[in-house]
Each structure stands twice: as structure tokens, then as C-alpha cells.
Amino acid sequence: MLAIIKTMLKEQIDSARLPQHIAIIMDGNGRWAKKQGLVRMYGHREGVQVVHRITEAAAELGIAYLTLYTFSTENWSRPQEEVDALMNLLVDTIAKETDTLMKNNVRLLTIGDFDRLPEQAKGKFTQCMQLTAGNTGLKLVIALSYSARWEITHAAKQIAIAVQQGALAVDDISEATVASFLHTADMPDPDLLIRTGGELRISNFLLYQAAYTEFYFTDKLWPEFMPDDLYTAIIAFQSRERRFGKTSEQIHR
């Protein structure tokens, strides 16, 4: 019966109106583990399995970009034992998943303060990004050591340097200029942002890019989030009217 429901949900999706870019705040790993009477890291390990399933589901649908908020700049302030365990989990996961990414024609990308990562993590991610660089399917974007305020501040500094060096005139700075200095410069803005875990905020994630993003919040904790939940979010997205500041009459002319 569950398989039938999932198939029915998938069939409700209009393939001609897919969100080009889906971003996800994967919240609830620790709370899920606590509910099971387990340590937090067990929840993070379970969350990795969900990443695998959701990535495959997005690739099968034909989604162009999937961005996952994996580790924020604020997460560095967590207990060192947890940070170290998370970094080791990232290294192990990317090593195991590279062959699957290649098989599914998925290209790996990252955004965030990459230089802050431990050398082993940087090495594994760099290797995987190089190996998958020629893949033409889904772009899987991992937000690592990322926060939107950090990104915007970094972009402002780079713009200031360009002006100082004479490569950019102040009067030529536009919204497009700012966007070109962000880590997402070569990506479309997210059409749909999903947050699991029941929280109703976006926690310093893609603040500039999410100006016209549709939000979808679910109480399900990340380890409970399955492909049918992704399908439900996309169906909800497709039911909305995206006006981008215009009126309904203008949209439907």
C-alpha cells in the first residue's frame, strides 16, 4: 500500500513545472536520535542515509540543483567531540558515495568557507568534485561551513577590493554584481526551500538567494523524511502562484 501511495504522489508531479533548484535545511538528526534513546551521532548517520535517498529521488525526477545545508559556520561552536565526529562522518560518506554519484551522473559542488575544513575533508571533497566534474545530471550542492551572513560579508569584501583596484566602478554595482560575488554565482536561485524538524525559520541559509523562494516546512525530523515527502513538497510548490511582485492578472495574460 505504501508503495502505491508513493507512486501516486510521484505521478501527481507535473514534470514540465519542476523546481529547477531545491534547497533543504536538514533539521532534526539529534532530536530523532534522542527519541530513540541514542546518542546524537546515530541521528547524523541515519541522516546520511536520507541524503542518499533524497538525492536519488531528485535525480530521477530531473531536478537540476539540490542544495543541502550540511554544516553551518555556527556549527563550529558545538562540542569539539561532535564536530570531529561530524567531519569524520563527512569524509567517510563522500568516500563511499563517490561511485554512486558517478553511476547516477550527479555532479558534486560545495558552497561555504571551504578553507576552514580539516585537510582530510577538503581532500576528499576536492577529489570527488574533480571526479564528478564531467557529470551532466543533478548538481548536488553541499553547504559546508556556510552561513548567509558570512557569504554576504565575504562578497562585500571582494566587491570592495575590486573597486579599490579599479576593476569595478561604484556606479556599476548592481544586484547582478552582488550575485556574481556570491558562492552560488553559477546557480539559479532556489525555487523551493524545504525545512524539516518543525522549526519555522531559515537559520542564516541562502538569505540573498531566497528573496522569491517558496518555503515548505514539515514537522518530520530529517531521518524520517522520505522520497514521498519530497514529492509532497514539490506538489505543494506546484500548487502555488509565483508572481514575483506582479499581479495575478499580469501573470495570466
The catalytic site residues sit at 27, 75
Helical spans, DSSP H, in the chain: 2-11, 29-35, 40-61, 80-103, 119-131, 148-164, 175-180, 227-238, 248-251
CA distance 183 to 38: 36
215 forms beta bridges with 193
Place of cell 543533478: 138
Place of cell 538525492: 55
Tell me the CA end-to-end span of the chain in Å, nearest whole number: 42
CA distance 215 to 157: 30
DSSP string, 165-180: TTSS-GGG--HHHHHH
Query: Whose CA is closest to 20, among 232, 191, 207, 239?
Result: 191
Under 8 Å between Cβ of 251 and 243 = yes
Place of cell 540573498: 208
Neighbours of 140 (CB within 10 A): 26
**Cell matching residue 118:** 580539516
